[in-house]
Amino acid sequence: MQQDFYKTLGVDEKADANALKKAYRKLARELHPDRNPDDATAEDRFKEVQHAYETLSDPAKRKQYDRMKRFGGMGGGRGGSSPFETRSGFRYRQKPDGTFERMDPEFDTGAGFSDIFDRFFGGAGPGMGEPASGHGRTRRQADPKTYDRNRTVRIAFDRMLKGGKISFSLDAEKISIPFPKGVKDGHKVRIRGKGRPTPNGGRGNLYVTIRVEDDDQFVRDGSSIHTHLRVSVFDALLGASTHIESPNGKRLKLTIPEGSQPGERLRVKGHGVPSDSDTGDLIVHLDIFLPQKLTDEQKDLIRQVQNSNES
């Protein structure tokens, strides 16, 4: 295959899910179109990185990709645009969802093909249904799902909160789908008639899966969003007032109660995940830290407090 997904992400073929994710996030930040405006090369690399991660992060697709890679597929490209031929002479192409399909929809199941396909893919070839005999060979009807297509799109954490539309190109056609505020990771949208052509003149469906990118500061848990705040031991003991940034970029005032304990949670209502009917809360986890150095005066004051508690 022309594009080696492991080399695209810069990881070893034995890399685990965490290593894949770390490599993908690093490259996605560097190559994102927002950081490289009018740079066609960066945009192409960004798409290659996305496609590689979408395939390798899915265990089933990765297993199939690894098998085909070992089988010796050559000359393939992204999204099935460039077919490739294996060493055994079978011609395949890669579909947009990262899986592989044989190019000819009807073929003789003799000559050992089923054994080969079972060996490398763990089952019958694409489009294989119940057999129907005719003219000395076995032909099978294609499963209707064979004509469906799959596409994965990724949105940033802040876009998930706002809702809106996702647009992408498919076979030179612009597809636009709306998504609600607070859409969940893995949400699927079906678009009728945008799949592959069927023998009877119809078309299959397009299934779009929405993936929400992780955020370095905020973590979603249902309708709540969690974040951490570093607080000095003095502010925790005496109480304090500070400001934090909300998930949607607003500056919020936060009161730290006197005597706050490490790991204590403060709830800020109405600044979590929004929906059409309600909005969740922002949960702030207090990470209390101790100063590494104290002045002599500070040490004397602490000793006085210590002595008063002991007496």
Average pLDDT, the chain: 79
pLDDT digits (tens, 9 = 90+) for 46-59: 888 888 888 899 88
State which fold the 149-212 domain adopts. HSP40/DNAj peptide-binding domain (2.60.260)
- pTM (predicted TM-score): 0.53
What is the DSSP secondary-structure string of the chain? --S-HHHHHT--TT--HHHHHHHHHHHHHHH-TTTSTT-HHHHHHHHHHHHHHHHHTSHHHHHHHHHHHHHT-BS--GGGSS-EE-TTS-EEEE-TTS-EEES-SS--STTTHHHHHHHHHSSPPTT--SEEEETTEEEEPPPGGGG-EEEEEEE-HHHHHH-EEEEEEETTEEEEEEE-TTPPTTEEEEETT-SPBPTTS-B--EEEEEEEPP-SS-EEETTEEEEEEEEEHHHHHH-EEEEEE-TTS-EEEEEE-TT--TT-EEEETT-S-B-SS-B--EEEEEEEE--S---HHHHHHHHHHHHHHH-
Topology match between the domains 149-212 and 219-296:
yes
Q: Which of 69-78, 220-229, 237-246 has the lowest mean pLDDT?
A: 69-78
State which fold the 5-125 domain adopts. Helix Hairpins (1.10.287)
State which fold the 219-296 domain adopts. HSP40/DNAj peptide-binding domain (2.60.260)
pLDDT digits (tens, 9 = 90+) for 274-291: 988 899 999 999 999 998
pLDDT digits (tens, 9 = 90+) for 94-118: 565 555 555 544 333 333 333 434 4
Domain ranges for the chain, please list them: 5-125, 149-212, 219-296
